[in-house]
Amino acid sequence: MAFEYAPAPESRAIVDLKSSYGLFIGGDFVDGSGHAFKSVSPATEEVLAEIAEATANDVDTAVAAARRAYTRTWSKTSGAERSKYLFRIARIIQERSRELAVLESLDNGKPIRESRDVDIPLVAAYFFYYAGWADKLEYALPHRRGATTTPRPLGVAGQIIPWNFPLLMLAWKIAPALAAGNTVVLKPAETTSLTALLFAEICQQADLPAGVVNIITGAGETGRALVGHPDVDKVAFTGSTEVGKAIGRTVAGTRKSVTLELGGKAANIVFDDAPIDQAVEGIVNGIFFNQGHVCCAGSRLLVQESVYDDVLARLKRRMATLRVGDPLDKNTDVGAINSSEQLARIRELSAVGEAEGAERWSPPCELPDRGFWFAPTIFTGVSQAHRIAREEIFGPVLSILTFRTPAEAVEKANNTPFGLSAGVWTDKGSRILWMANQLRAGVVWANTFNRFDPTSPFGGYKESGYGREGGRHGLEAYLAE
Amino acid sequence: MVSPVLTSSDVLDGAASSPAALRRFLHGLPGVDQVGCEARAATLSTRSIKTTSKAWALDLAVSMIDLTTLEGQDTIGKVRALCAKAKRPDPEDPSCPRVAAICVYPDMVATAKAALGSSGVHVASVATAFPSGRSTLDVKLQDTEDAVAAGADEIDMVIDRGAFLSGDFSRVFDEIVAVKQVCRRSTGQDAHLKVIMEAGELVTYDNVRRASWLSMLAGADFIKTSTGKVQPAATMPVTLIMLEAVRDFREATGRMVGVKPAGGISTSKDAIKYLVMVNETAGDDWLDPEWFRFGASRLLNDLLMQRTKMTTGRYSGPDYFTLD
Amino acid sequence: MPSDTRLDVRKTYKLYIGGKFPRSESGRSYVVNDSRGRFLANAAAASRKDARDAVVAARKAFPGWSGATAYNRGQVLYRVAEVMEGRRDQFADEVVAGEGLTRARAGRSVDQAIDRLVWYAGWTDKIAQVVGATNPVAGPYFDFSIPEPTGVVAVLAPQQSSLLGLVSVVAPVVAGGNTAVVTSSRDRPLPAISFAEVLATSDVPGGVVNILTGSVGDTAPWLASHMDVNAIDLTGVAGDDEHATALEVAAVDNLKRVRRAPDAEPDWTLDPGLSRITSFLETKTVWHPIGV
């Protein structure tokens, strides 16, 4: 007899949504001067709220507020006091964690299991971690010579974050920036503004001085205005490689400091001596975690030919147990695709995969009628030349390739302009270290995948961007010697 | 080595043909990464089973219990009382299923058999110098024979962990084969053989996986985590390894083997987590008392309290359930 | 010509690519004068194709150099210092001629260049301990971060300081395990070529450092836009904002790591710090579960 799991929806009642939201500038919510746009729930297409689009004038106001706060307040606030503000914020995030998790799932479409167990706990952890750095900056740059002064903040940071981990990416940006003594103007992605706006409320609850954190909402134009603003000292961006390059060109010739966290096409490499059941979990976690909307997703599976059939059979069996559907259901494993635009892109590249001759497979799964959905999908018979093996799909789509020797695995893994992450599965210790050494990627997960921690530097090689987030290294991006 | 009782498929032919072949086979099994395995078990534990699913799962869990008493102070009276409970766990509610079996020491088998009559509740007997297994093969076989002769439907044997840990896999294998022989009856009503790994003494998950395969190759009808006398007893990750083993064994041979976590599972919440794990690892074929059991003594009353909560809508208390 | 004066044998100054000394494939050369405008030599005018060849050579040398032990790289760089010391007078002559320094100041500049190489030689097997880390993650994982070389680095060496400046920008790049394509000072290229001769006679594998003489404008745009160059140091266009910006824009095509041009050429006698090493290092973080 089949074990059906009855619906187990997390209650929405904890979230108090307003019908419209303004911009958070200088410590207050203000009306923007631009048009409002709608934020929809990707699972239902329900309009959640109207969001103000920040114009160039609004950006100017926000940067001015950040500059004022930097000059008059934050740069005169001791490290110890900044530290306590960040600890306070971390605590409020923990206290309001369920509310944040529900709102994140509602707005982004990710399963509540992930927002509850991964995103929000990590958000608090990043604030806790960087809180402790704020009064220890003289230890943050150990390679400074004979310094008698504390490293200096850069000033006003303009930060632009993506829609895949809205609040977590905010934490990655704001926590180190504030710890180092900068003030920030942050723009969330236009499809996922709501948790950033709730974070603005948290800043108010924490009595954070006005203007230290400014949240401006909007799309590409707003971002461009922020990046190009002459009074921004530091630009931090997480998003597509295409936009990253545009930012690079905009800031060329300026003295703005830049960090870019961009796309990836990570190889997840499974050897014949891998701990096979954990490897299959790692493959699933690597590509179906967060609907595959993960820059470091293990989107290229490289399997040693001798275990290909076995791995494929196990993977398919495991995929059949994935539960796709309502993000607020506590048993959902794979939620909604974040937007209709992203869904269109995933569909388009999947169609290309088929057209190029790769074989497509998805487990039987019923998708809801409304909203943006894509079934977990794998492609077999993929070669390096296929577009689905080269381009970032940013969805729950896995391309499977094979290899025969460790050297071939490395060659294929590195044969991409990206270099963000890689996975290695084998029981042989010396091979793990050899592979880790050979792979041109900023993060190598051996016998695990998609792990994140505030103490652990994260960032890419090559066209996956530059700079690191997390750990002491992450602080360097916000400090001048 | 003696031949195993089962007829293995071609895939496993020769796996146990010699001590060296058996060692090669067991060491050739894929390794288990402890952290990954525990993470998977933890994720499965986050499933939220509500309303109708929960009611269904609670009844299923009751029907899977091997209601156990394995104490030096066991008496005929105690065993009889437990048998009464096994047949009608909730006297107030005739819709409550009976448990799968009563699990006792060999000298209590006859008592239990008589008390249970034709109720359909099986009698399982531990044997082979349970729980340590530290005795001669002759004594272990005699122990088993006594239980079988007294009418045991199921035999829960322990493996020789000392032999296993010293690498003498064929000794462990041969002992299981020998015990399996003793489980046979001329009537054809053979006692089912459950083989206890005592995972707490094997320590590593790699060992649990090897011991599981060794037992299945030797003819085990069930593989069981623990005696309940050693900590840690049943855990989610150990049971996960075993569920993967029976799943893969069926893929390889076509033969289904059951799984029994025993010891330490005392709440409905835990039991449901195990059922979720069975469902998502081995599959729903195993969601049946024929293929999955809980070795437990305290679990039953908690399941009964939860059942009552489901039907009455209010929380119950221990005074409303029998303590046997 | 009086019979007691010997006609000196002049040197032909060529490029240094892949461990060899080719002429420019373009066949072009240009006149190098001393600081007072007197003819010193003809130097090879590197073309975009020379730049291309140099990148190929640098890429080919990268696996071996980056894969060598840090101890070995330190030994090799120290060897370079040793060989330079032996040719101290020659370098001093060239610095006097090119930079117009007094003999004494030029000598000090050569000494500093040699000492700087020794300093960087010592860093090869220490930098990872200074900028690497084990990360105390909240879970059963061993997690560490190590620096790794970025890859092929285009180095636009300074225009003024022809030896000390050159060594100060090249040594940190190769100490970190990168391979380099270097454009020398246009007007003062002779120490760069002599330095190439030192490299060729030390134990530096061919292709690890490649040196192009000529106008930075002829090669730098090709290096900046080259998709197989991983990073670029714009020091050589210090003060030329327009040029520097154009190169920075071109470098975005494959997201090169860019060390921006300073407003003016730095004082090379100052303590360099570590930023010239760390500018051309990536951080790799490795995770592995801890279990039995």
* N- to C-terminal Cα separation, chain C: 87
Which phi and psi angles does A403 have, rounded to 5°? -145, 165
Residue A249 tokens, joined:
């060109």
Q: Compare all CA atoms of chain A with the CA of B279 and give the residue at the minimum distance.
A: A3
Q: Among B257, B261, B258, which Cα is nearest to B296's?
A: B261
- Average pLDDT over every residue of A75-91: 98
Are C46 and C16 within 8 A, CB to CB? Answer: no
Q: How confident is the model at residue A143 (pLDDT cuts 50, 70, 90)?
A: low
Residue C208 has pLDDT above 60, yes or no: yes
- Alpha helices, H only, C202-281: 216-225, 241-251, 275-278
Are A287 and A398 within 8 A, CB to CB? Answer: yes
Q: How confident is the model at residue A481 (pLDDT cuts 50, 70, 90)?
A: confident
Distance of CA B232 to the CA centre of its chain: 15
Kindly state whether C289 is in contact with chain B, defined as any CB-CB distance less than 8 angstroms. yes
- Average pLDDT over every residue of C76-89: 98
Contacts of A112 in chain B (CB under 8 A): none
- What is the number of other CB atoms lying within 10 angstroms of the CB of residue A292? 25
- What is the number of other CB atoms lying within 10 angstroms of the CB of residue C26? 15
pLDDT at A135: 97
- Average pLDDT over every residue of C152-176: 98
In terms of Cβ atoms closer than 10 Å to its own Cβ (0-12, 13-18, 19+), residue A158 is: buried
pLDDT at B4: 44
pLDDT at B7: 44
Q: Quote the ipTM score.
A: 0.97
Phi-psi region of B48 (alpha: psi -120 to 50; beta: other; left: phi over 0): beta
Cβ separation C292–B203 shorter than 8 A: yes
Are A100 and A198 within 8 A, CB to CB? Answer: yes
pLDDT at B8: 46
Residue B2 has pLDDT above 50, yes or no: no
Set A53, A261, A392, A463: catalytic member: A261
Chain C positions contacting chain A at CB under 8 Å are 130-131, 133, 135-139, 141, 143, 145, 150, 230, 241, 244-245, 248-249, 251-255, 257, 260, 271, 273-275, 278, 282-289
pLDDT at B33: 98
Contacts of B284 in chain A (CB under 8 A): 1-3
Say which of A453, A465, A473 has its CB closest to residue C138.
A453
- Average pLDDT over every residue of A455-475: 97
- Average pLDDT over every residue of B93-104: 96
Task: List strands edge to edge, sheet with C231-233.
Answer: C209-212, C179-183, C152-156, C231-233, C257-259
CA distance C256 to A226: 23
pLDDT digits (tens, 9 = 90+) for C265-278: 999 999 999 999 99
CA distance B274 to B235: 9
Place of tokens 């696996």: C63
- Average pLDDT over every residue of C109-126: 98
- Average pLDDT over every residue of B218-242: 97
- Average pLDDT over every residue of B58-66: 98
Kindly state whether C291 is in contact with chain B, defined as any CB-CB distance less than 8 angstroms. yes
Which of helix, strand or coil describes residue A24? strand
- Name chain B's partners: 3 or more CB pairs within 8 A: A, C
Q: Among A308, A276, A310, which Cα is nearest to B252's?
A: A310
- Average pLDDT over every residue of A349-358: 97
pLDDT digits (tens, 9 = 90+) for C214-256: 999 999 999 999 999 999 999 999 999 999 999 999 999 999 9
Rounded to a whole number, what is the distance in Å from the CA of B200 to chain C's nearest CA? 14
Structural domains of chain C, with CATH: 43-289 (3.40.605.10)
Active site residue B156: yes
Residue A30 tokens, joined:
């203000």
Q: Which residues of C82-105 are buried (b: 16+ CB within 10 A; e: fewer)?
A: ebbbebeebbbbbbbbbbebeeee
Which of helix, strand or coil describes residue A88? helix
Distances (CA, A) of A348 to A341, A352, C222: 11, 6, 35
Q: Which residues of A461-477 are buried (b: 16+ CB within 10 A; e: fewer)?
A: bbbbbbbbbbbbbbbbb
The secondary element (H helix, E strand) that includes residue B125 is strand B122-127
Are B178 and B2 within 8 A, CB to CB? Answer: yes
Residue A85 tokens, joined:
């503000």
Q: Which amino acid is at B80?
A: R
Residue B6 has pLDDT above 80, yes or no: no
Active site residue A203: no
Sign of CA pseudo-dihedral C74, C75, C80, C86: positive
Cis status, amide bond into B232, omega within 30 of 0: yes
- Average pLDDT over every residue of C171-199: 98
CA distance A277 to B30: 8
Residue A466 has pLDDT above 70, yes or no: yes
Q: Among A6, A335, A99, A334, which Cα is nearest to B48's?
A: A6
pTM of the model: 0.96
Cβ separation B287–A331 shorter than 8 A: no
- Average pLDDT over every residue of A395-424: 98
CA distance C85 to A348: 63
Residue B5 has pLDDT above 50, yes or no: no
Cβ separation C292–B33 shorter than 8 A: no
Q: Which amino acid is at A241?
A: T
Residue C235 tokens, joined:
């020091």
Contacts of B204 in chain C (CB under 8 A): 292
Rounded to a whole number, what is the distance in Å from the CA of B36 to chain A's nearest CA? 5
Contacts of A248 in chain C (CB under 8 A): 248-249, 251-252, 255
Structural domains of chain B, with CATH: 8-312 (3.20.20.70)
Mean pLDDT for chain B overall: 95
CA distance C167 to C158: 10
In terms of Cβ atoms closer than 10 Å to its own Cβ (0-12, 13-18, 19+), residue C247 is: buried
pLDDT at C5: 87
Cβ contacts of B192 within 8 Å, gap of 6 or more: B153, B154, B155, B183, B221, B222
Set A53, A114, A203, A295: catalytic member: A295
Are B271 and B49 within 8 A, CB to CB? Answer: no
Residue C94 has pLDDT above 50, yes or no: yes
- Average pLDDT over every residue of C69-86: 98
pLDDT at B10: 54
For an interface test with A, the pick among B48, B213, B250 (most A C-beta atoms closer than 10 Å) comes out as B48
